[in-house]
Structure 1
Amino acid sequence: MGYKSTILVVEDVVQSRMLYEEWLGCKVDSDFGIHNVGFEGGLALYQKSLFAELINSNDIVSKAQNLAVYFEFADIHSLRDQIFASGFELVHDIKEQPWGQMVLRFYDYDNHIIEIAEDMDAVLVRMVKSGMSESAIANKTGYSEDHVKNILINLKKEEQEEYK
């Protein structure tokens, strides 16, 4: 067996679970109450006091800035407003990555970096609506032109299905 999970050590599993489950859309896979919770996809939260006991050390570093937990959403602006209103510290506000994707980074309750990015399908749609050619989109995003064409064809089919 191989990779199973990434564990974030947190002060309060219940509080952190609310952020990851309710705001960021993580689905609980395993629930061990206040000690740890696992989400589908492999993210898990461990209570700091339990983890310190398991590794025989209270020397758990905070705000190391060498790991980010990554999420994609079609609309990051409304989530940004919710994060800002709740007083989370921003690493930076919404900005465009070199490949055209909009992204926001903030610290969760335990100073882990949370990266909220625009879904790449939304990026492509935004680029098309701005008048960019498929070739220009491919050049900007790093996708092949064929990949861009296929995604846009599938998105057009999905839009047509919505109106039926």
Structure 2
Amino acid sequence: MKFSNPLIVVSNMEKSKQFYHRILGLDVVVDFGANVTLTYGITLQTKDTWSSFINKQENELVFGGNVAELYFEEDDFDSFIKKINNMPNINYVHPIIEHSWGQRVVRFYDPDKHIIEVGENIAIVVKRFLNSGLSIEETATRMDVPIDFVNSCLK
């Protein structure tokens, strides 16, 4: 057994492909029309075909449940935030927050209200703390992670 890829259902394939390319830089890898695989193996499936696959009516499929997300990390978090701040129609779940371990993240919805999280690359967070003058041990304490984790981010 191996995990292959996540699949999300979309109501408008073209709109979703454009969103994922424009906002996250994902490209179409394989396009079968009703089923499209993007960079990193994220698969989009049209709502009508998905409903037939699971033997449900389209009106039984509910978007926007706020119970799952697609998670991405960005090395240049500040530039990404500037990019999306200049884009119209970004529907935020919340503005930038900093988690207790120091990672900055933003969450927003795709066109079908699937949550997208973009977080600062965790290795960059480690380096930010070290560059601020914290020691490896202090960084581990600040982030509530083992020292080995901090060291592994420096490789």
Distance 1:29 1:48 in 2: 20
- CA positional deviation for 1:124: 1.1
- CA positional deviation for 1:21: 3.1
Q: For 1:10-159, list aligned pairs within 5 A.
A: 10-33=10-33, 35-57=34-56, 58=58, 59-84=60-85, 85-152=87-154, 154=155
Structure 1 window deviating more from structure 2 (84-93 vs 59-68): it is 84-93
Could you list the runs of 4 or more consecutive aligned residues of structure 1 that deviate by over 4 angstroms after TM superposition?
A: none
Contact 1:88 1:109 in 2 (8 A): no
How many positions carry a matched residue from both structures? Answer: 152
Distance 1:80 1:148 in 2: 25
Distance 2:103 2:153 in 1: 16
Distance 2:110 2:82 in 1: 15
Distance 1:150 1:110 in 2: 37
Q: State the identity as a percent.
A: 34
Distance 1:142 1:31 in 2: 42
Contact 1:74 1:122 in 2 (8 A): yes
Pair 87,81 (structure 1): closer, same or farther in 2 beyond 3 Å: farther
- CA positional deviation for 1:121: 1.5
Distance 2:82 2:49 in 1: 33
Distance 2:152 2:48 in 1: 49
Residue matched to 1:161: none
Distance 2:141 2:18 in 1: 39
SS of 1:41's equivalent? helix
1:36-87 alpha-carbon deviations (Å, 9 max, x no partner)? 2113433210111221222222111111000010000012233233334321
Distance 1:47 1:64 in 2: 18
Amino acid at match of 1:32: F
For normalisation by structure 1, the TM-score amounts to 0.82
1:103-157 alpha-carbon deviations (Å, 9 max, x no partner)? 00001111000000000121111111221121111122233213323433x3xxx
Query: What is the RMSD computed on CA atoms of the aligned residues?
Result: 1.9
Distance 2:144 2:88 in 1: 35
Gaps of 5+ in 2: none
